[in-house]
Amino acid sequence: MGSEEHDRDTRITVRDLQRNAAAVLVRLEHGETFTVTRHGRTVARIVPPDPAEEAVNQAVADGLIDLTELSRARTAAQTARMRTAPSAVGDLPLARALEELRDDQDGGDGR
């Protein structure tokens, strides 16, 4: 990120941040970014969450993505080929549980 993007940040002192934290968080929710200063020097930047990162976090929380496998992916193509997170029904792996449900529906004759 170039310095021109930092120039668009709203500058706020540590003291103002402490006094107005709730209002700053509301403004962050609306996409605003902040440069926090102490004695005129930049000490931090506060940015709103990245929607793509939040979507991945939610998918992990929902069990749609296996975090271990995600951490091993080095490219977008590897990420696209990822399996979903391992799941289980009772003591059975999900694939085996689905197979048993299908057998029950088919009357156990494999049709």
For residues 61 and 53, the answer to whether their CB atoms sit within 8 Å is no
**Residue 86 confidence (pLDDT):** 53
**Residue 79 confidence (pLDDT):** 62
pLDDT in tens, 7-16: 789 999 999 9
Give the domains, in start order, of the chain with CATH numbers: 3-46 (3.40.1620), 51-105 (no CATH)
Burial 28-63 (b: 16+ CB within 10 A, else e): eeeeebbbbbeeeeeeeebeeeeeeeeebeeeeeee
In this prediction, residue 98 has a pLDDT band, given cuts at 50, 70 and 90, of: low
The pLDDT of residue 72 is above 70: yes
CA dihedral sign, ordered 84, 88, 93, 95: negative
In this prediction, residue 26 has a pLDDT band, given cuts at 50, 70 and 90, of: very high
**Residue 108 confidence (pLDDT):** 56
